[in-house]
Amino acid sequence: MGKFKHAIAVAVLTLVTAAGLYFLFDWMFALPDPASAQAGPIDTMFQSHFAMMAILFAFIMVMMLYSVAVFRRRPDDTEDGPHVHGHTGLEIAWTVIPTLVVIGFGVYGTVVLGEITREQDNEMTVSVVGAQWSWSFEYPAEDIRSNRLVLPVNQPVLLELESRDVLHSFWVPEFRVKQDLVPGTVKTLRITPTQLGSYRLACAEICGEGHAGMLADVEVVSQADFEQFLVDSAFRYSDLTPEERGQQFYTELGCAGCHTVDGASGVGPSWNGIYLREEQLTDGTTVVVDDDYIRHSIIAPNDQIVAGFNPNIMPQDYEERINNLEAEILDSEGAELDIIADLIAFMQTLDQ
Ligand SMILES: [Cu+2]
């Protein structure tokens, strides 16, 4: 067989293998159906990377295995192989082509990044706060807070992401884009949801014991349903009963990230049947969970630690956060609330 025929054989085998690998990668690394305007360019870029990797891997493997098989030594062949002293043309080619490919993908990546982060007209801003281990959302224009992320379809959204403690990462696989939350700074992310539906936000950065449960519901709804969501969410704290307020604070202040209300085990003791129960502490004493103990447990969590929960990881800054929220409510509603009293009222409703 002449050189030309070997070249044709390698080319055909490379193409067939590359096509097979491309479909294999596409299937192996499949993500859920895309649901945002940003997903399109990202998926195209992924696919072009898959194609490039498939071609390169196929070419190297086919060349190697083809040489091993076709140019192997025959049993009666005792001659030396030809002595080769390099090939300038080939060396230039295998330096220049990969360099151009890498630079090309670099430029392509930069263009796509620019495209998916570009500021758009009529963006709606939503603030996202991640904390160990819960998410909360605020619609500043409407002064509404929520523990679900509800977005109107086809509306460009600017997310302003903040972390209260450690690194977290905002990731809804259907939207493709992902952004870390870095304590002390505000990170941004742009999403234009394009498909109605329910999705799930997951934290994509290991952030401690409750990381796997750091989830939130995301709903993409019609403009009319979004307006309704705003109306439904626009409550006044002072119009609620203390129990209802307590439940609201339980999710809003992130207690739900660590304390269950149904007796299931969590990062902290369940609140099911908590009120007036006897609690064993790490220092060997027992206490009755009354108002004073609860208040103290929230303001100075390290003082009395429940047995089995050492080292204690309940956040230390609740006194400040609760004071700030009380001041905010006094400011906006003119009502002086005692958040901890409301939380206790809520706990009292949780007897098995
Ligand atoms: Cu997290």
**Sign of the four-CA dihedral 45, 50, 53, 58:** negative
- List Cα–Cα distances, 238 to 73, 148, 250, 276, 342, in angstroms: 89, 22, 16, 27, 11
Ligand 1 centroid–CA 171 distance in Å is 10
Ligand 1 centroid–CA 267 distance in Å is 14
pTM equals 0.75
Peptide bond into 311 cis (omega under 30): yes
Ligand 1 centroid–CA 139 distance in Å is 21
pLDDT (tens digit per residue) in 67-122: 999 988 888 888 888 888 889 999 999 999 999 999 999 999 999 999 999 998 89
Evaluate if residue 1 carries a pLDDT over 80: no
Ligand 1 centroid–CA 129 distance in Å is 10
Annotate 87-111 with b (16+ C-beta within 10 A) or e (fewer). Answer: eeeeeeeeeeeeeeeeeeeeeeeee
**Bridge partners, 220 (sequence order):** 151, 197
Q: Which residues surround ligand 1, an ion (CB under 5 A)?
A: 168, 203, 207, 214
Percent of the chain whose pLDDT exceeds 70: 99
Ligand 1 centroid–CA 113 distance in Å is 24
Ligand 1 centroid–CA 285 distance in Å is 34
Ligand 1 centroid–CA 306 distance in Å is 24
Give the per-residue pLDDT at 352: 60
DSSP secondary structure letter of residue 166 = S
Ligand 1 centroid–CA 203 distance in Å is 5
120 and 190 Cβ atoms separated by less than 8 Å: yes
Which tokens belong to 226? 């979004």
